[in-house]
């Protein structure tokens, strides 16, 4: 299946999209599976949303989901 | 026994020229530590309620803590405390560079300036020699020129200089105090108070090392924490990107101000303004304060276009938010130029950006026209409007003079309906974090003792996963976006942390971004002071400091009736992460008052005061 993955700021270099801007993941994949396959540093993955809802790393993914993986937000000063 | 304090307070009365050194009681230090906590208690003892900020009795308290003696990572900070011209009540602002360390090396923990000089002066403090020097020739000079002039005429480039620019001289209510050209005590307008006292600068240098309880252990801990923090900021990219690294995340989570808080999303703008684009376009490099393992400040260089050319400190996240997305300007060079003008004239870039966004909104509504602005077109996204209006505000000229008493003051002059649209608490403009996204900010802002401030309670970074406070039971998952549970608890603990941080005094970015935990800070605190404090004792000192500040707010006329959200914070987003969400404000405040031990009027109960050992 394919999902839309949005990686911001320092995570952007981990993006692996096809021509349609989608990322292929195996059936039954979770956010963790996806993050590991993209080589994201899991200790820096703190906030994840799927279709606008805050979720955890073990959230299962479905075809067409939109996944945001945010880098940690310090430095708000 | 050595404890990291001189236990000395230097007092300078600019009305009489008197300079006195007074003892600081260890009992006070054990209750308030230093910085903004001790400063608040001094204000409470020395000033009557409702004192106008520009009354000569107002104090400017420059206060250090135990961390300014040895080279504690993030310890190159100090607090400035006084009554704010924006709020008419307690204010503190913190700055870095080398000034706090220099005051300590001169042999003092605290400097209090009171009275008003008959003509402009600056203070020069070198150990026991405290001179009040003529500054008439420095009037009109900006914050960079002032430092250069003082270094030039004294022949002493090692003097650390805290000064005001033209804005402070003209008592613009958002005037800041600039330190060594690159660090700024920005918020609350204490630069205007300096100006009201005819005090252009305080230049300080010292040759002494304050005795500490356990020098060997302190050295070992500093070495360990420096290494750990440096490794952390390399790994998490904080050193590489500084605070501009936050832009895309903040925007993505609905936290960044867009179109003066009326719009909900602008990912393209945040991407252009934030790092890594910022780092590349502005050729940004870390610009560390003394002893800092992180180096979050940016040194930037712009060579073209020529109207934006500059070399110096670059805008922080807050400035990118308030002068950038807030005004729909996405050119980091334009924001950097406006930031540079604000820094040189000596105004707070957060409030200055808020003012420009507010003015653009007024323009759009037809409340302001070219007749008011002498031709300046205040259209959204117009860099010339940003740069032109920031310059006018800092010089108190043209339409910018409307803002001399703050955004609320301008609103009252502009249109009968304008004041309702100002986004503030206690007259202090909101910083670049939206409580509709991180709802723990709602109680934080409305009860903020210096007004709406994220940095005296950085709960938004907890909500967005930037740091946690496991010592207080706050870990990943303690709060979830938009859900009431634990939000007010996080707000309370982060405010206590903020007050503690400004009392020690240490940079907030040590715990928030550099992984210098509160447990580690307690270890080094004990090695310096020889006291046997726990994290709980430290946080309680933060709570005590916050409570004393709240008591100042209450006696100056604030309370439950001013613990309210500005109207715009009731607007519900139509798109983006916070679409359809609203702040459960009344519930959060109910939780907040209960956790604080406050009564229905917003005052600490007698039991709360007794627990903290504070007199009402």
Question: Number of folded domains in chain A?
Answer: 1
Paired tokens of B314: 């670059």
Put the strands of the sheet holding B177-179 in their side by side order: B129-134, B121-126, B199-205, B160-163, B177-179, B183-185
Residue A77 falls within a domain, yes or no?
no
Q: Where are the beta strands (DSSP E) in B198-289?
A: 199-205, 285-286
Nearest CA in chain A to B515: A74
Contacts of A74 in chain B (CB under 8 A): 236, 238, 246, 461, 466-467, 509, 512-513
pLDDT of residue A77: 53
**pLDDT of residue A62 exceeding 80:** yes
Bridge partners of residue B205, in order along the sequence: B126
Q: What is the pLDDT of residue A19?
A: 94
Are the Cβ atoms of B465 and A72 closer than 8 angstroms? yes
> Could you write out the three-class secondary structure of B522-543?
HHHHHHHHCCCCCHHHHHHHHH
Closest CA to B191 of B104, B291, B82: B82
CB B488 within 8 A of CB B499: no
Distance CA B253, CA B324 (A): 17
Helix (H) or strand (E) holding B54: none
Helices (H) and strands (E) in chain A, counts: 1, 5
A17 domain-assigned: yes
3-class DSSP state for residue B504? helix
Calpha distance A71→B464 (Å, rounded):
9
Q: Among candidates B332, B346, B255, B254, which has minimal Cα distance to B298?
A: B332
ipTM of the complex in this document: 0.96
Structure tokens belonging to residue B443: 């109680």
**For residue B145, which phi and psi values (nearest 5 degrees)?**
-60, -35
- The pLDDT, as a whole number, for residue B594 is 98
pLDDT along chain B (616 residues), means of 10: 97 98 98 98 98 98 98 96 98 94 98 98 98 98 98 98 98 98 96 98 98 98 97 96 96 98 98 97 95 95 97 97 98 98 98 98 98 96 98 98 98 98 98 98 98 96 95 96 98 98 97 96 98 98 98 98 98 97 98 98 98 93
Any domain includes A75: no
Is A9 in Cβ contact with B275 (below 8 Å)?
Answer: yes
In a domain, A76, yes or no: no
B329 to each of A15, B356, B363, B536, how far by Cα in Å?
A: 27, 11, 16, 44
Pairwise CA distance, residues B554 & B133, whole Å: 38
| CB atoms inside a 10 Å sphere around CB B87 | 28
Contact B212, B68 (CB under 8 A): no
Rounded CA separation B295/B509 (Å): 10
Q: Contact, B450 vs B87, CB < 8 A? A: yes
Q: Which residues of A touch B (CB under 8 A)?
A: 6, 8-10, 12, 41, 44, 46-47, 49, 52, 54, 68, 70-77
Helix B349-364 / helix B383-395 crossing angle, nearest 10 deg:
120
Task: Considering only the beta carbons, identify the residue of B237, B243, B467 that sits closest to A77.
Answer: B243
CATH code: domain of residue A45: 3.10.20.30
Q: Which pairs with CB-CB distance under 8 Å and at least 24 residues apart come from B283-287?
A: B284/B242, B284/B244, B284/B314, B286/B239, B286/B242, B287/B182, B287/B313
Picking from A9, A52, A74, the nearest residue to B461 by CB comes out as A74
Q: How many CA atoms lie within 13 A of B597 on its CB side?
A: 13
| Placement of tokens 């903290």 in the chain | B612
If residue B387 lies in a helix (H) or strand (E), which one and from where to where?
Answer: helix B383-395
Q: Report the alpha-carbon distance of residue B116 to residue B382 in Å, rounded.
A: 41
Cβ pair B186, B353 in contact under 8 A: no
* CA distance readout (Å), B506 to B126, B243, B289, B516: 24, 17, 12, 11
Domains and CATH numbers, chain B: 8-205 (3.60.9.10), 242-429 (1.10.569.10), 441-612 (1.10.599.10)
Q: Rounded to the nearest 5 degrees, what angle is found at the Cα of B119, between the Cα atoms of B94 and B200?
A: 25
Q: B152 in the Ramachandran plot: left (φ > 0), alpha (ψ -120 to 50) or beta?
A: alpha
Residue of chain A with shortest Cα separation from B576 = A52
Helix (H, G, I), strand (E, B) or coil at B223: helix
Cβ atoms of residues B205 and B105 within 8 Å: yes
For A13, name the nearest residue in chain B, comparing CA atoms only. Answer: B276
Query: Which contiguous run of DSSP H or E holds residue B173?
Result: none
C-alpha dist (Å) from residue A51 to A48, A67, A69, B434, B576: 10, 7, 12, 21, 11
What is the predicted pLDDT for the residue at A74? 82
Closest CA to B580 of A5, A8, A52: A52
Q: Do A73 and B461 touch (CB under 8 A)?
A: yes
φ/ψ of B85, rounded to 5, equals: -70, -15
Q: Which of B243, B466, B480 sits opposite A72 (nearest CB)?
A: B466
Q: B319-343 burial string, b = 16+ CB within 10 Å, else e? A: bbbbbbbbbbbbbbbbbbbbbbbbb
Chain A residues whose CB is inside 8 A of the B465 CB are 46-47, 70, 72-73
> How close does chain B come to A6, measured CA to CA in Å?
10
Task: Give the pair of three-digit tokens for residue B157.
Answer: 């480039």
The secondary structure element, H or E, covering residue B343 is helix B332-345
- Note the pLDDT of residue A73: 87
| Burial class (CB within 10 angstroms; exposed 0-12, middle 13-18, buried 19+) of B194 | buried
- Which chain A residues are Cβ-neighbours of B236 within 8 angstroms? 44, 71-72, 74
> Judging by DSSP bridges, how do beta strands A66-70 and A2-7 pair with one another?
parallel
User: Is A35 a member of any domain?
Assistant: yes
Q: How far apart are CA B243 and CA B256, in angstroms?
A: 13
- Residues in chain A with CB shorter than 8 Å from the CB of B235 are 41, 44
Instruction: Output the DSSP codes for B124-144.
Output: EEETTEEEEEE-GGGTT--HH
Among B85, B122, B138, B192, CA closest to B409: B85
Residues in chain A with CB shorter than 8 Å from the CB of B481 are: 54
- Taking an 8 Å cut-off on Cβ atoms, the answer to whether A74 and B238 are in contact is yes
DSSP-derived pairing of the beta strands A2-7 and A23-24? antiparallel
Domain limits at A43? 2-70
User: What is the nearest CA distance from B469 to chain A, expressed in angstroms?
Assistant: 13
Cis peptide before B584 (omega within 30 of 0): no
For helices B487-504 and B535-555, the axis angle rounded to 10 degrees is 90
CB contact under 8 A, B248 and A73: no
Contacts of B512 in chain A (CB under 8 A): 74-77
Residue A63, domain member (yes or no): yes
Task: Determine whether the interchain pair A73/B242 forms a contact, defined as Cβ–Cβ distance below 8 Å.
Answer: no
pLDDT of residue B66: 98
Give the containing element (helix H, strand E) for B153: helix B143-154
A5 has which bridge partners? A67
pTM comes to 0.98
Confidence of residue A3 (pLDDT cuts 50, 70, 90): very high
**Is A73–B466 a contact, with Cβ atoms under 8 angstroms apart?**
yes
């Amino acid at each position: 299946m394919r999902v839309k993955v949005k990686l911001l700021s320092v995570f952007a270099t981990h993006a692996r999209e096809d021509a349609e801007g989608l990322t292929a993941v195996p059936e039954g994949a979770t956010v963790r599976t996806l993050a590991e396959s993209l080589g994201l540093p899991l200790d820096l993955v703190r906030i994840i949303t799927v279709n606008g809802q805050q979720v955890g790393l073990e959230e299962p993914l479905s075809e067409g989901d939109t996944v945001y993986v945010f880098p940690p937000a310090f430095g708000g000063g | 026994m050595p404890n990291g304090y001189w236990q000395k307070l230097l007092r300078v009365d600019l009305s009489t020229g008197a300079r006195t050194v007074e003892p600081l009681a260890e009992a006070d230090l054990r209750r308030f530590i230093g910085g903004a906590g001790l400063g608040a208690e001094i204000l409470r003892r020395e000033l009557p309620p409702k004192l106008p900020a520009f009354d000569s009795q107002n104090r400017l308290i420059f206060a250090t803590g135990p961390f300014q003696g040895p080279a504690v990572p993030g310890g190159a900070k100090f607090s400035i405390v006084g009554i704010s011209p924006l709020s008419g009540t307690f204010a503190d602002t913190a700055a870095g560079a080398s000034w706090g360390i220099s005051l300590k090396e001169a042999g003092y923990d605290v400097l209090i300036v009171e009275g008003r000089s008959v003509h402009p002066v600056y203070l020069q403090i070198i150990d026991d020699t405290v001179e009040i020097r003529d500054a008439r020739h420095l009037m009109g000079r900006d914050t960079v020129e002032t430092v250069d002039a003082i270094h030039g005429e004294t022949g002493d480039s090692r003097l650390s200089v805290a000064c005001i620019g033209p804005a402070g001289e003209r008592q613009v209510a958002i005037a800041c105090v600039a330190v060594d050209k690159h660090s700024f005590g920005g918020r609350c307008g204490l630069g205007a108070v300096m100006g009201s006292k005819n005090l252009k600068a305080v230049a300080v240098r010292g040759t002494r090392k304050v005795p500490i309880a356990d020098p060997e252990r302190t050295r070992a801990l500093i070495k360990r924490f420096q290494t750990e923090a440096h490794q952390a900021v390399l790994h998490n990219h904080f050193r590489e990107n500084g605070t501009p690294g936050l832009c895309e995340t903040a925007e993505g989570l609905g936290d960044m101000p867009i179109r003066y808080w009326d719009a909900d999303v602008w990912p393209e703008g945040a991407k252009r303004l934030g790092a890594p684009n910022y780092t590349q376009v502005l050729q940004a490099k870390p610009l560390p304060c003394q002893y800092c393992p992180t180096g979050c400040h940016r040194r930037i260089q712009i060579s073209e276009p020529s109207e934006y050319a500059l070399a110096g400190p670059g805008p922080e996240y807050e400035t990118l938010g308030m002068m950038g997305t807030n005004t729909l300007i996405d050119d980091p060079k334009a924001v950097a130029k406006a930031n540079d003008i604000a820094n040189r004239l000596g105004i707070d870039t957060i409030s200055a950006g808020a003012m420009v966004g507010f003015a653009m909104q007024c323009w759009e509504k037809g409340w302001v026209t070219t007749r008011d602005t002498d031709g300046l077109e205040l259209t959204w996204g117009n860099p010339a409007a940003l740069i032109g209006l920031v310059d006018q505000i800092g010089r108190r000229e043209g339409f910018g003079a409307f803002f001399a008493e703050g955004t609320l003051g301008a609103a009252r002059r502009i249109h009968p309906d304008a004041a309702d649209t100002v986004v503030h608490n206690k007259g202090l403009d909101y910083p670049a974090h939206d409580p509709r996204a991180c709802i723990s900010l709602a109680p934080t802002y409305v009860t903020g003792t210096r007004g709406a401030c994220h940095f005296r309670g950085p709960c938004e970074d907890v909500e967005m996963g930037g740091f946690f406070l496991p010592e207080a039971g706050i870990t990943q998952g303690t709060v979830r976006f938009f859900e009431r549970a634990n939000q007010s608890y996080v707000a309370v603990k982060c405010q206590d942390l903020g007050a503690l941080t400004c009392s020690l005094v240490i940079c907030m970015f040590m715990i928030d971004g550099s992984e210098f935990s509160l447990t580690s800070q307690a270890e080094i605190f004990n090695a310096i002071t020889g006291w046997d404090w726990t994290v709980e004792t430290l946080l309680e000192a933060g709570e005590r400091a916050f409570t004393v500040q709240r008591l100042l707010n209450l006696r100056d006329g604030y309370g439950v009736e001013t613990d309210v959200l500005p109207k715009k914070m009731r607007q519900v987003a139509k798109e983006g992460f916070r679409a359809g969400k609203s702040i459960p404000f009344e519930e959060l405040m109910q939780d907040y008052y209960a956790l604080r031990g406050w009564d229905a009027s917003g005052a600490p109960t007698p039991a709360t005061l007794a627990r903290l050992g504070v007199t009402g």
